[in-house]
Structure 1
Amino acid sequence: MTKPNRSRISRRELLKSVSMTPAIGALTSTAMADDRDDVIARAGSSLIREENAKPGSRDWQLTRVRLDSRDGVRASKIEGYCSRQSVAAGESIDIMVSTDPAQAYVIEIFRTGYYGGRGARLMTKLGPFDGSVQPVPEAGDKRIRECQWTPSVTLTIPDDWPSGVYLGRLSTLTDSTGFGYWQNYVVFIVRDDRPADILLQCSDNTWQAYNQWPDRDSVYTHPKGNQGPWADVSFDRPYGMYPQIFENPQTIGSGEWLCFEYPLAYWLEKHGYDVTYCSNSDMLTPDRGLTCKTFISNGHDEYWDIRQYNSVVKLRDEGVSLLFLSGNSVCWVSPFRGSMDGRANRILFRGGPYGGEYKWAELREQQHGPFPHRGPDEGYLMGSRNVDPVNGGGDWVCALPDHWIFEGTGMKQGEAIPGLIGWEYHGDPPRDIPGLQVVGKGTALQGGVNPQAWTSTVYPGPKGNFVFNASTIWWCQDLASPPGHWIPWSHWSRPHGPDDRVQQITHNLLRRAINPVA
């Protein structure tokens, strides 16, 4: 008889395990924290504090950028990509670069963080190199654009480079007019395997799903329509400028990191939290997360391979707290496959909806199917689900002011944090998760007109841990507004930037996750 896969817990098993724990609202508070610089989470390693004591760079952003056309996303004066989503110290990563016209260039590698408010530190400078025009691949099956560029440099990650999100700034030295310094980014994650308080997962599957490089080539731009299972996308291509919400030149080459995720990393490192980083592809097994106390889904985390889902279920069941500081998360099953040359996890597509037999999964199937895959109901993991419409804007409204997440905020019933809901969110929580509490709820307006209810939830895990769902892509917008970051807007609504209530709620969540109440 085959043994059951314990990482794929059934809903019945979840309800049974959760029912044996006290309701999380009854738990007593841990020590309070506020947003002062001298309040630092010192439970874990000092690595992040020591790293951020090093001098940051005054010049790490893109200064001179040029798209090929005003309505395009490509900046072919200089552009590039990396051979892997993530890499560990001691391992090597190839950086592929194309310059048009052929010209010399340099690469500066920066680690993003706090660094006294400067936001990044220069780690090394590579080059100069002689650039060349590398070919744009023809659209393949399912309109995939998979580059096979010659590596420009192979970088071995030094042992003293800590985990984080790294940007390689590409800068030309001359062009045909004699003016130089057209710029672009490449982005990669340095991971590690050390025990840490917080594992921050980057949403790079979603960055790639929306990437339209070179010419409207994403999972949303297939001639058959923008929601079906028709398009493959490859990580073996540059990131074009992000095509939604706003025209932000800092997104050229950097995916969605700087616009939707970086403020959380900046804020965590400012306060000395013991954080380490991973890509979506690093969560295909639960091993990395099981060495940490807290797992965070950040920003716009829409596309998950089913193995990611099973891994995060395993984390929860083993006592890791989960913070979904994100919106539209765990929405589409996005299976990985290898690249043309056999590197694992370099191609994905929209395989099918999460939701199981839930009504919105059925609706997605009817509207956009047939899909070859179907995922379980994400509500039983996140505590709240994707809904239709899933996009809009609104205020984040306190629904349970006596809950411990609000301690030290002074928030009252019905008090609103302006514009924090957007541009995609969660709602309609499962009614049969024991101990689940709705801590925030309200209405978002799609297009400023069409209403949809959203809900933010907390429920207890089986081992003193918990699961929090912020129900918005924009949560980190109210934590910090670091250099290189623009506050986004959509659906005639926008967050307002750093808010001490959001900061305090996040401190409360992290302190409880790092030091669970018995």
Structure 2
Amino acid sequence: MAATGGLSLSLDPKYETRRTNRIVEENRKPGSRDWQLTRVRYDKSEQRTALIEGYCSRQSLKAGEKLDIMVSTDPGVPYELDIYRTGYYGGTGARLMKKIGPLQGRPQTVPSPGEMNIHECKWDVSTSFVIPDDWLSGVYLGKLKTLPGSEDLPYWESYIIFIVTDERPVDLLFQCSDNTWQAYNRWPSNYSIYTHPKGIQGPWAKVSFDRPYGRQAQYMDIVNDPLSFGSGEFISFERPFSYFLEAEGYDVAYCANCDMLTPDRGLKAKAFLSIGHDEYWDIRQFKSAEKLKESGVNLLFFSGNSVCWVSPFTDSEAGRPNRRIIRGGPYGADNDYANDRRRLHGPFPERGPDEGLLMGVRNIEPVNGGGDWIIVKPTHWMFKGTGVRKGDRIPGLIGWEFHGDAPDLPGLEVVAEGTAWQGGTNPAKWQSVIYNGPKNNFIFNASTIFWAQGLSSPPGHTLPWSHFNRPHGPDARVQQITRNLLNRAIT
């Protein structure tokens, strides 16, 4: 029995076979709490930590492939880099995989704005290594730490982040929402997809993965957590879900958005999971998800504001594939939301299909706010063992963005719905739905970025809030609903 956030995590005896999978074996290994950042100092913009920062040459890679890591320290001081795999590990949250250094740091050049305000670094490689064959798929954090040379002087830290993926048949495929991490990344001072002088929603800006993740300044009113510098949105919006899965012993593998440009990886899973804030999808990701649905893979959207913007990948200036994205246009085909986006913020070079026909719900206006997750169909099998009744509320679980406007799909059921508010004004009706796929599979949409907050409270994580609304953390009902959905998906 694994404990997290004051609630018990335990396997249904029916699924005891999960105790022999690779995730269970990995999490029996000794963990460490030293992966957490302790001392962070950001500059006046509050969006970068120039004392030590870095980025990786790939969003994701497999065992046997080489990762280059680029690091800048200003001033130039020695530093070390420890690589951790995040997981459960007896509640510590991560396992030390590799120590690198000491290495001599130096300042590396901040790029001048390029085409469409892009800031693409061309930093020299600081260190490289090949991913060992025994490194299991997971989300890996590299903890950068300056070595001041005296115990009387402060040291400073930040993260790098990368995903190790694989090709093994697996029960669950956890897609990290790293396109969205990058879209909101303002590094070095105010340069994201949202900060072009022409406006925050147009097709004006281009962003590069060849730069550090600064503090997600767009979220300063949502997640006030400077001790996550360099990790994108993973710690804030996705980490509680992966911690829950690994504590429970589910057979899970991880991938980046760019790993879903073809359906091949997803077709080796029983269920595909979209987690957290999964807003930016290349059109090829959409087509891959459609193929998964048609082929009998279960699709579970434990996310909000998902599949909102078409975000085509392009190569970096150096020719590395899938290292730049832009906002190409809205999904939604000809629905009102998409047409409003084009009218107000276009012209856009692309438009995407109706995301509601895939997810069961759509992006709506207003897209953000907060509210309670309210059960309307307690007799549905997903609520078995929760004890919920119609009208029961899970406080603050809706936010910071959500879905609604369910399309007319055969057999679609609305299982929860209610009103989200932007600080007490400007209401929006959200809906959580489930419907059957063509091959005895199903599609579920939780309709909130905050779903993971109800699953666990791992070390190093703080609760978000929005619009005078916040989730309360781990909730036994959210945990059991999630188990019911996952267990149905993998049997």
Match of 1:47 in 2: 22
- Residues 246/363 of structure 1: CA separation in 2 closer, same or farther (3 Å cut): same
TM-score by length of 2: 0.96
Q: Which runs of 5+ in 1 are unaligned?
A: 1-33
Give, in whole Å, the separation in 2 of the partners of 1:222 and 1:145: 12
Amino acid in the other structure paired with 2:28:
A
Q: Is the 8 A contact 1:454 1:471 kept in 2?
A: yes
- Residues 323/102 of structure 1: CA separation in 2 closer, same or farther (3 Å cut): same
Match of 2:4 in 1: none
Give, in whole Å, the separation in 1 of the partners of 2:197 and 2:449: 28
Give, in whole Å, the separation in 1 of the partners of 2:9 and 2:33: 24
SS at 2:266's partner residue? helix
Q: Is the 8 A contact 2:169 2:269 kept in 1?
A: yes
Q: Bigger CA drift: 38-47 or 288-297? A: 38-47
Task: Provide, for residues 368-411 of structure 1, a one-character-per-residue CA deviation record: whole Å limited to 9, x for no partner.
Answer: 11000000000000000000001000000001011001111111
Match of 1:227 in 2: 201
Q: Is the 8 A contact 1:76 1:99 kept in 2?
A: yes
Match of 1:452 in 2: 428
2:67 pairs with one of 85, 88, 93: 93
1:253 pairs with one of 230, 233, 242: 230
**How do residues 126-145 of structure 1 correspond to structure 2 at under 5 angstroms?**
126-145=100-119
Q: Which runs of 5+ in 2 are unaligned?
A: 1-6
Give, in whole Å, the separation in 2 of the partners of 1:337 and 1:221: 20
Task: Provide, for residues 418-466 of structure 1, a one-character-per-residue CA deviation record: whole Å limited to 9, x for no partner.
Answer: 00000100001002x1010000000000133111000000000011110
Give, in whole Å, the separation in 1 of the partners of 2:206 and 2:373: 35
**How do residues 49-68 of structure 1 correspond to structure 2 at under 5 angstroms?**
49-68=24-43
Q: Bigger CA drift: 200-209 or 147-156? A: 147-156
Q: Is the 8 A contact 2:158 2:228 kept in 1?
A: no
2:95 pairs with one of 84, 100, 121: 121
2:288 pairs with one of 311, 317, 330: 311
Give, in whole Å, the separation in 2 of the partners of 1:147 and 1:87: 20
2:479 pairs with one of 482, 500, 503: 503
**How do residues 8-27 of structure 1 correspond to structure 2 at under 5 angstroms?**
none
SS at 1:261's partner residue? helix
Q: How many residues align?
A: 480
Q: Is the 8 A contact 1:242 1:248 kept in 2?
A: no
Q: Bigger CA drift: 179-188 or 141-150? A: 179-188
Match of 2:320 in 1: 343
Match of 2:488 in 1: 512
Q: Percent same amino acid among aligned pairs?
A: 62
How far apart are 1:178 and its partner, in Å? 6.0
**1:37 to 2:13 alignment:** no
Match of 1:146 in 2: 120
Q: Is the 8 A contact 2:88 2:246 kept in 1?
A: yes
Match of 1:217 in 2: 191
SS at 2:322's partner residue? coil
Amino acid in the other structure paired with 1:251:
S
SS at 2:161's partner residue? strand
SS at 2:400's partner residue? strand
Match of 2:3 in 1: none
User: RMSD value over aligned CA atoms?
Assistant: 1.3
**1:481 to 2:457 alignment:** yes
Task: Provide, for residues 196-251 of structure 1, a one-character-per-residue CA deviation record: whole Å limited to 9, x for no partner.
Answer: 00000000000000000001100000001111000000000000011111321132
Q: Is the 8 A contact 2:11 2:249 kept in 1?
A: no
Match of 2:310 in 1: 333
Give, in whole Å, the separation in 2 of the partners of 1:317 and 1:37: 32
TM-score by length of 1: 0.91
Give, in whole Å, the separation in 1 of the partners of 2:312 and 2:433: 28
SS at 1:287's partner residue? coil
Give, in whole Å, the separation in 2 of the partners of 1:117 and 1:435: 40
Task: Provide, for residues 62-85 of structure 1, a one-character-per-residue CA deviation record: whole Å limited to 9, x for no partner.
Answer: 10000011x421100000000000
**1:493 to 2:469 alignment:** yes
Give, in whole Å, the separation in 2 of the partners of 1:442 and 1:175: 57
Give, in whole Å, the separation in 2 of the partners of 1:178 and 1:86: 38
Give, in whole Å, the separation in 2 of the partners of 1:42 and 1:83: 39
Structure of higher RCO (CA pairs closer than 8 Å, 6+ residues apart) = 1
